[in-house]
Amino acid sequence: MSAHATPEQIEDVVARLAEAGCAAYVTEGKDATVIGALGESELLAALPLEGFPGVEQVLPILKPYKLVSREISPDPSVIEVRGRRIGHGWFGFIAGPCTVETRAQTLETARVVAAEGVTLLRGGAFKPRTSPYAFQGLGLEGLKILAEARDETGLPLVTELMDPRDIDAVVEYADVIQIGARNMQNFNLLSEVGRAGKPVLIKRGPSASIEELLMAAEYVVKEGNTQVILCERGIKTFERSTRYTLDISAIPVLKHETHLPVIVDPSHAAGKRDLVLPLARAAVAAGADGVIVEVHPRPEEALCDGPQLIPTAEFGEFAGEIRALVSLMGKTIG
């Protein structure tokens, strides 16, 4: 309570807490009175305490996320996708095109990554582009090409859903639904995929805090879907020599806070192909449960993210480095 709070204002807060079924513990200090409120965090969150007369500050002691927290589920979760596993010692090695451009480019890339024993195939049919004039993806046609690549290689498919109106199409073709960084706080979309009954990969927004990422995951899990993978993909900072700044510390922080698997996208963080391997190595060493990287047969011809794409001709070497480090960490590619 503020230093000038009247006894009536203090009593009013205590009474409102009691009405909401919460216990109130009043401590009178020399300069101010502190009221400790104990009760269901949902009931407390619903009380607009900040607006009560005489209230100076409201400090939540508990974390706002519950279902995704380690307190609820102390054991790490394992996400199972058609026989592949990610989390708790299973490393998700995810690779594939940034964007489906043509059938040939997608199939060629899928074959190369499959031959290196990756866990999942990635690829975008609906692309979140900064410019409305840039290639927006092939849409449904792209999903069909990805499904063909999935059927030929046997690799489960992760692809992005941007618009709830496309959910039926994406659910039909995808094994894992990706929520892109720009949609991380599209709460209706999160609830919608929470009800879709498919594993969900949520990418951290470039300006989102770790707590906001966990709250995004909470939206999905709240709908009954616990099959969620979190992805650190770089955040916006003042640094201009990389596309984003990969927040390596997010990996141990997230793994401390949540039971959900945490993977890293070094491709979008780096924006430059030469940096993808060092950042991927750092991610594995910091305890990531997987990496997701972009590959292309001819990056110089790519319609999206060319500078960061690993050429298919170099993917074998890249995969060898990742496999070596993963086994050094005592993990198995899932």
Name 151's Cβ contacts closer than 8 Å, sequence gap at least 6: none
User: 3-class DSSP state for residue 36?
Assistant: strand
Q: Is 175 one of the binding residues for Mn ion (CB under 5 A)?
A: no
Q: Which amino acid is at 96?
A: G
The Cα diameter of the chain in Å comes to: 75
| Residue of 36, 60, 64, 128 that binds ligand PEP (CB under 6 A) | 128
**Sign of the dihedral through C-alpha 238, 295, 190, 288:** negative
Please, which residue, 22 or 179, has the CB nearer to ligand PEP? 179
Per CB under 5 A, does 292 bind Mn ion? no
Q: What angle do CA 150, 167, 184 make, to 5 degrees?
A: 95
> Applying CB under 6 A, does 124 fall inside the site for ligand PEP?
yes
289 binds Mn ion (CB under 5 A): no
98 binds Mn ion (CB under 5 A): yes
Does position 181 interact with ligand PEP (CB under 6 A)? The reply is: yes
| Residue 259 contact, options Mn ion, ligand PEP, none, Cβ 5-8 Å cut-off depending on partner type | none
What is the closest distance, in whole angstroms, from the C-beta atom of residue 69 to ligand PEP in the complex?
24
Indicate whether 243 belongs to the interface with ligand PEP (CB under 6 A).
no
Q: What's the CA gap between 168 and 194, in Å, rounded?
A: 13
Choose the stretch contacting ligand PEP; rule: CB under 6 A; options: 70-78, 89-97, 174-182, 190-198. Answer: 174-182
Figure out which of the listed residues 85, 233, 255, 259 binds ligand PEP, where binding follows CB under 6 A.
233
Closest distance to Mn ion from the beta carbon of 294 (Å): 5
User: Taking the complex as a whole, how short is the minimal distance between the CB of residue 209 and ligand PEP, in angstroms?
Assistant: 16
Considering only residues 85, 268, 273, 331, which one is a binding residue for ligand PEP as defined by CB under 6 A?
268
> What's the CA gap between 330 and 334, in Å, rounded?
13
CA distances from 48 to 13, 19, 211, 212 (A): 11, 13, 21, 21
Nearer residue to ligand PEP within complex by CB, 54 or 97 = 97
Measured from the CB atom, the residue of 84 and 122 that comes closer to ligand PEP is 122
How many positions of this chain bind ligand PEP (CB under 6 A)? Answer: 11
Q: Please provide the DSSP assignment of 164-206 as one string.
A: GGGHHHHHHH-SEEEE-GGGTT-HHHHHHHHTTTS-EEEEPPT
CA distance 230 to 33: 41
If the CB atoms of residues 122 and 331 are measured against ligand PEP, the closer one turns out to be 122
From CA 255, how far away is CA 175, in angstroms rounded?
A: 24
Closer Cβ to Mn ion, 139 or 287, answer by number: 139
Structure letter (DSSP) for residue 76: P
| Cβ nearer to ligand PEP, comparing 69 with 183 | 183
Write out the two tokens for 112. Answer: 């190369």
Smallest distance from ligand PEP to CB 119, Å: 16
The two tokens of residue 54 are: 């005489």
Q: Which does 13 bind (CB under 5 to 8 A by kind): Mn ion, ligand PEP, none?
A: none
Cα–Cα dist 149/174, whole Å: 12
266 binds, among Mn ion, ligand PEP, none (CB under 5 to 8 A by kind): none
Least distance from C-beta 249 to ligand PEP, angstroms?
18
- For the record, the structure tokens of 12 come out as 């009013």
Place of tokens 């203090």: 10
**Residues 29 to 88 in contact with ligand PEP, rule: CB under 6 A:** none
| 92/124 with CB nearer ligand PEP | 124
What burial class does residue 123 get, using C-beta atoms within 10 Å of its C-beta: 0-12 exposed, 13-18 middle, 19+ buried? buried
By CB under 6 A, name the binding residues for ligand PEP: 98, 124, 128, 160, 180-182, 203, 233, 265, 268
By CB under 5 A, name the binding residues for Mn ion: 98, 305
